[in-house]
Chain A
Amino acid sequence: MKVALFIPCFIDAFYPEVGIATLELLERFGIEVDYPQEQTCCGQPMANSGAHADAAGAERVFARNFAGYDYIVGPSASCIHHVREHLTAIEQTSEVRKVRANAYELVEFLHDVIGAREFPWAEFPHRVGLHNSCSSLRHLKEASVSEIAATPFSKPRALLERVKGIEFVKPGRPDECCGFGGTFSVTEEPVSVRMGQDKVRDHLNAGAEYIVSGDMSCLMHQQGCAERMKADARFIHIAQVLNGARE
């Protein structure tokens, strides 16, 4: 299978280690991963601001870079959600449709396509607060949500559970939004920060040493809040944990 790596713009710029961990993790499963080097951004920042037409250029670049792959894998639920649901500013050729349908968030890809469950190289002997972003939960449906009665399931947790030494804590509001929300984090700064502070406090009160998530944007926001609060919390992306990071 032909697999391409999609590195969201802010991970490229701020958190390259998450991109590296994603690449290495996929390769551990024997997957040959291409990294189309002309990729820029999926278009979400413009689209989420309502500038639907202005997202077309970025979306075109995305579709061009990722054409012809069986799977496009990216470590960000919000970006993948945008590609699958909202990459609509450009003509919907059959090629574009294929790109959109073949876009996978990392956890989805590992859990559903590869069927990965064992990570024998990984060890993470810490108490973890698992933060599933709203995109991963309510848009990509990677886990059950508290609003809707259903047999509980969680793809991120199913992967992490197999990591040696890991312990999960139970925050009081496990699936309440942390308040990043993209542009919201700046345009509604007071509420965004309050939400981030509450989220960090919730995890810490539950005993978390680390907050782990598949969405680095959420973690960037929570970490920003935590550091300013001088709260003793550490943050790490799920790709890094599954790839064997010890801390």
Chain B
Amino acid sequence: MATREAFLAKVRAAQPPARPCPDVPLFNTAGGDLRARFTAVLQAMGGTCVEAATASEVSALIRERFGDAVSIASASLEVPGTRALTADTEPASLQDVDVGVVRARFGVAETGSVWFSEREYVVNALGYIVQHLIVLLDPAHLIDGLQDVYRRDDFRDARYAALVTGPSATADIEGVLIRGAQGVRSLTVVWLAA
């Protein structure tokens, strides 16, 4: 493409003299109890953590909190939804769903984040278009920090990957914190072994 060649030529001509790329080391981390650290940071970011022994406990938890008439779209085979969810489901069709359920591939202790790709979500929009998100997380799948997360291969295969930390939020008006800006109003991590 003529445009592309001219574009790159202009950039190349403008470049300052070459600088080497620094080596990025792995830094010592806080270590310690990953689950406790994760929980503390997630709570500060507006999320909550609960425990469940079985998947059916999760269903009970949802009904208890949101009522029996709750609509659920579940990307997890463990927890049944009231709405079918397949790779062919139109994202927009989920706009009236109350609760989404999805299992995270792993969590990050440093930031209280959970990680999803299209494989976990089944429908990517699930994580954002529903009103509340329930995240299943195996406590054995906790990674210390972002420096470790970004050395993993998970990002290479994923078409879409997200580190999600607590519910949607904004403080754009007078610095007042609002939960549930455009995305989910609440995010609950349920400790449940995979």
A contacts B directly (C-beta below 8 A): no
Residue numbers of B with Cβ under 8 A of A are none
